[in-house]
Structures are given as C-alpha cells and as structure tokens.
Amino acid sequence: MQCLKVTFTELDEGKGAFGPESISPCAFPKYLVLSYDLESKTVFFPLFWDFEYVESGNFTGFYRYQFKFRGDYYLIGVLPKRLVSKVEVVDVDYNPDEFIPDNNLRIMTVRVPLEDKSGVDELIRKYRENNTIVGARSRDGLDLRNVNGKKESFSMWYYELVFQFAGNYLGFFNELQEQIPDFNYTPWSADHNVFPRQRPYYK
C-alpha cells in the first residue's frame, strides 16, 4: 500500500507531558506515523497525510502538511522548505484502519490540586465501574500562578481520561465540580478522538 516517505534535514523525538510521544519538527504524533528513523531523518506517513509544496499565496516556499480522515482535518500546518529534504511515495505493507479514530471515545485532560488527588482517584474508580471512563493515565506537575504580584508554584496532578462518548461523562464533571470548584480541564473537540495506536497509552 502506498505511503509517504519524508526525509527531513533535522529530526528528533519531542518531549510531551507523558514522555517522547511525538517527532519533531512540528511534533507529529507517533501514533499517526508508520515508522521513523532518527539517523536517516526519515518518517513514513500513512497516505492519510499530505505534504504539498506551496508555490503561491501566503505560504509560498513552505510545505503544507495535513492529516485527513473521513473528509475531516485532524492536523494541519506548515514547514519551511529548509526542513524538508525529500517527499516520496513508496509502497509499504500496513493496515489503514490503524489510523482511523474511534468516534465513540474521547480524551479529556483534567488538572487538580495535589491535595485533592485521592478524592478524584475515587471518583474515577466509580466511573470506571459503569464504563463511562475506559482508560486513564496521570502524573504530577506544577502550576505557576500570580499571587499578589508574585509567581508561585503549586503542586498539581494531571489526568488524561478516556471517556465513552455515550457514557455519563456529564455526571463525572458535575461531581468533580462539587468536589473541586476551581478545577481545570480541557474540553474535547473533534481532534480528541482516540486512535488505535493511542490506546496502549491508557490503562
């Protein structure tokens, strides 16, 4: 099956909140590429990706890249020509279904004060039992805030939670709001679907 082989002039693993889960430049998610090699600076992209050199318009001299599935754009951006050495179409054996997201699952990120972690863990367990939450991962971190004109750091706990879209996710957030009135979360959107290669991130 055809795929895109892109050779870059520089290539590194990006460092995300939960480790090196992307490839730079432009932080391409590893779960959306077939393979990569840092030594040769090559990345094999499934044919859901487009890399097009722009010859006119606002981004003349750049490569426009985009990841598209079912007519929807998941990622889109531009790269300077100096970062792209070569774009080729090659044949590689792969399963395209690995790059189609599960629209029944959504990812939400939640950030709570460290002292509230035990209560949130208990709430997550409750919503796992009814399959509203079907996967999760978490880590500690710091939150910088301005207090009386000075920046202070606060110990926080970060969660990425996988929800069944049809589940009682509103109930979870209502209860979380009751526990922690000032908790922070990232609402989901179309690009928060879960891809097959992403599922192993969550337990």
The mean of the pLDDT values for the chain is 86
Distance CA 124, CA 136 (A): 9
Cα-based distances in Å from 17 to 21, 48, 56, 140, 193 = 9, 26, 37, 10, 18
Distance CA 82, CA 50 (A): 18
Tell me what the mean pLDDT of segment 103-132 comes to. Answer: 90
Tell me the domain boundaries of the chain.
2-98, 102-201
Digit-coded pLDDT (tens) for 42-59: 999 998 898 889 988 888
pTM given for the model = 0.81
Name the residue with higher pLDDT: 184 or 131.
Answer: 131
Within 10 angstroms of residue 61's Cβ, the number of other Cβ atoms is 12
Digit-coded pLDDT (tens) for 129-169: 999 999 999 999 877 666 667 777 878 899 999 998 777 78
Contact in structure between 138 and 85 (CB atoms under 8 Å): no
**CATH number for region 102-201:** 3.30.70.120
Please name which of 6, 8, 61, 62 lies closest in space to residue 34, comparing C-alpha atoms: 6
Torsion sign, CA atoms 192, 14, 3, 202: negative
**So what's the pLDDT on residue 60?**
87
